[in-house]
Structure 1
Amino acid sequence: MPDASPEFRYKRVLLKVSGEVLMGDQAYGIDMKTVAGVAQAVADVAREGVEICLVIGGGNIFRGLSKAAGDMDRATADYMGMLATVMNALAMQAALEKIGVQTRVQSALTMNAVAEPYVRRRALRHLEKGRVVIFAAGVGAPFFTTDSGAALRAAEMGCDALLKGTSVDGVYTADPKKDATATRYDSLSYHDVLAKDLKVMDASAIALMRDSGIPIVVFSIREDGSLRKTLTGEGTFTVITSKAKSA
């Protein structure tokens, strides 16, 4: 695998994509055109030497904390959500391999027919060989979100950054879709995110990234070329580190 281009800020990253992103313009499910677009963005940077792994949420299919779960017990609903992330992971794997990118799906739940079991050393070896690794089923236990799963895998893989691809181009003072006066932060500290309850990721994920010293970069995965621009520092995004450079 070629070395990452000097223009990239990070050599190894974990990309967290919300399941809702994969819906595209649909109200539910997987839009394969959108999946193909995300896959192409991942392929472009992987081919230039960036070691990249992914965690994909399951909210486009089932979310344990949603109304869809009804009065179902939380543990069962969370396991169903984990299965949704496996479906998304397989869709992403198919899109990546269609364009010639070698991938491996590793699941925290044992599903040998469709995915490897999660084994840290094996995952690291896949990354070193230039394969894209997609982590599915969260942490394999209920009561933890896919944000926590992404933070855990980023720490275990020794990633240089956790990139969170969303529908907005960073972290705002309020929801920009609902509040026209909301302004975007260029940078924030982990402490500010927790103290201001900014809902970037759940608190346990933020705390783990803080303790591991791994920056979180929030950007819009929907914009063409945004992943590459974020990795080179040219795009629009919010960086969360131990100290904010600006308010």
Structure 2
Amino acid sequence: MTTPVYKRVLLKLSGEALMGEDQFGINRASIEHMVEDVVDAAKLGVEMAIVIGGGNIFRGVAPGAKGMDRATADYMGMLATVINSLALADAMEQAGLTARVMSAIGIDQVVESYVRPKALQYLEEGKVVVFAAGTGNPFFTTDTAAALRGAEMGAEIVLKATKVDGVYSADPMKDASASRYSHITFDEAIEKHLEVMDAAAFALCRDQKLPIKIFSILKHGALKRVLLGEDEGTLVHL
């Protein structure tokens, strides 16, 4: 078996990727497609923790939250990530993986609360840990939660799985000459105003010397190629 270049990773999934071709909610085919890639990664022996967004259901800055208190809207968004986490964990269990959902807000009748030593134990046992409810605080995105949990878990890299296959010099949908960066430094990303992650998440990763890899979750097998160190997506590093 080919040896992966990472032993432990934090995978950040966007909630929007769960929608597939639907306008909102969870598309079963899309979630099964993602889980296939996670299963392949697990077979490599990589310890994996996952943070998933809630933008397919609700988010604090969405048009539907207009006029709503921002903190209240953000708490609703956290609950949306719990729904996504449960759906993802269920799909992984059905695919033969053992998954554990841990929430940053207390809803013990649904999922267990986040406790760092327990999460580390699960990872060492080969379980996939899904972190729900972001950081547990309003005004912080799930990008920030991914950076935070990645640092807490001792992950070697944060893998941000999106709908695009990396960071480009310009919008590839508008500029045919746009080129994909295979790698770029944190300072270069800041200088070029590249929207890699939100500012708080980006700063935390940089300060903790935690590299970020941006790749497309819609490309089947991309996650495995990233873990094997192949030229997939864009690496942001010091």
**Shorter-chain TM-score: which interval?**
over 0.9
Query: Where has structure 1 moved over 3 Å in runs of 4 or more?
Result: none
* 8 A contact 1:23–1:29 mirrored in 2: yes
The aligned counterpart of 1:48 is: 44
Superposition deviation, residue 200 in structure 1: 1.2
| 1:139-174 deviation per Cα after TM superposition (whole angstroms, max 9, x unaligned) | 000000000000000000000110001111101122
Q: Paired residue for 1:204, among 195, 200, 204?
A: 200
Mind listing any 5+ residue stretches in structure 1 that lack a counterpart?
Answer: 243-247
The aligned counterpart of 1:159 is: 155
| 1:36-93 deviation per Cα after TM superposition (whole angstroms, max 9, x unaligned) | 1111211121122100010001110111111110110110111111111000000000
Mean CA deviation greater in 176-185 or 74-83: 176-185
Instruction: Tell me if 1:95 matches 2:82.
Output: no
CA distance in 1, matches of 2:27, 2:173: 22
Superposition deviation, residue 179 in structure 1: 3.2
Superposition deviation, residue 177 in structure 1: 2.6
CA distance in 2, matches of 1:66, 1:96: 29
What amino acid sits opposite 1:67 in the alignment? P
The aligned counterpart of 1:133 is: 129
Q: Paired residue for 2:103, among 94, 101, 107?
A: 107
| 1:152-206 deviation per Cα after TM superposition (whole angstroms, max 9, x unaligned) | 0000000011000111110112222333332211111112222322111011111
* 8 A contact 2:2–2:228 mirrored in 1: no
| SS of corresponding position for 1:223 | coil
The aligned counterpart of 2:181 is: 185
CA distance in 2, matches of 1:194, 1:119: 33
* 8 A contact 1:17–1:165 mirrored in 2: yes
The aligned counterpart of 1:77 is: 73
CA RMSD of aligned residues (A): 1.2
Following superposition of structure 1 onto structure 2, how do residues 112-127 of structure 1 map, counting pairs within 5 Å?
112-127=108-123
The aligned counterpart of 1:219 is: 215
CA distance in 2, matches of 1:127, 1:150: 16
Following superposition of structure 1 onto structure 2, how do residues 31-46 of structure 1 map, counting pairs within 5 Å?
31-46=27-42
Normalising to structure 1: TM-score of the pair?
A: 0.93
CA distance in 2, matches of 1:6, 1:154: 24
CA distance in 2, matches of 1:106, 1:38: 20
* 8 A contact 2:4–2:44 mirrored in 1: no
Superposition deviation, residue 235 in structure 1: 4.1
Mind listing any 5+ residue stretches in structure 2 that lack a counterpart?
Answer: none
CA distance in 1, matches of 2:113, 2:146: 16
The aligned counterpart of 1:245 is: none
